[in-house]
Amino acid sequence: MDLLYRKAVPQDSLEIARLSGQLGYPANSEQIEARLAPILNADDHVVIVAEAQSKLVGWIHAHGRLLVESPPYAEIGGLVVDQEFRGQRIGKQLVRHCEEWARTKGYQELRVRVNVTRVEAHQFYKHAGFENTKTQQVFRKEL
């Protein structure tokens, strides 16, 4: 299978929405396109897609994080590989592309947050060379 890894474009919104639904984040193409537009125009964000036979089989989003208490770093905001294509190293390649992007931006660290219930994702990131450094809870307040 020939795979093409490239930066996302607005026309990818429908396929990104389809894949996001597989991850448990349902959205329609219009919602994804609206979210994607400012991300694609931001210098400190990247969305890379994996394409096979004109169909997206995965995507990854990374962005820079600037915090007062720590040096700048890049963080993976989302990663999904089509359920029919998992186990073929597509996710690992997407992470590698993010690592390359982060290095070119001058970041010396790549982080990712993973829900405690996503045990398969924990194993994936450990195999990709990440180490678990923190357990935390996320609090939310609607405005």
Q: Which domains does the chain have, with CATH numbers?
A: 4-113 (3.40.630.30)
The SS3 assignment for 102 reads: helix
CA 2 to centroid of chain Cα atoms: 21
Mean pLDDT of 79-96: 96
Mean pLDDT of 103-115: 96
Q: pLDDT tens across 11-59, in order?
A: 999 999 999 999 889 999 999 999 999 999 999 999 999 999 889 999 9
pLDDT at 53: 87
Q: Is the pLDDT of residue 1 over 80?
A: no
**In the block, which residue shows the tokens 């299978």?**
1
Cα–Cα distance for residue pair 18/11, rounded to 1 Å: 13
CA 39 to centroid of chain Cα atoms: 12
- Helical residues (DSSP H) of 10-72, grouped into ranges: 13-22, 29-40
**pTM: predicted TM-score of the whole model, two decimal places:** 0.93
pLDDT at 54: 86
Mean pLDDT of 53-71: 96
Mean pLDDT of 96-110: 97
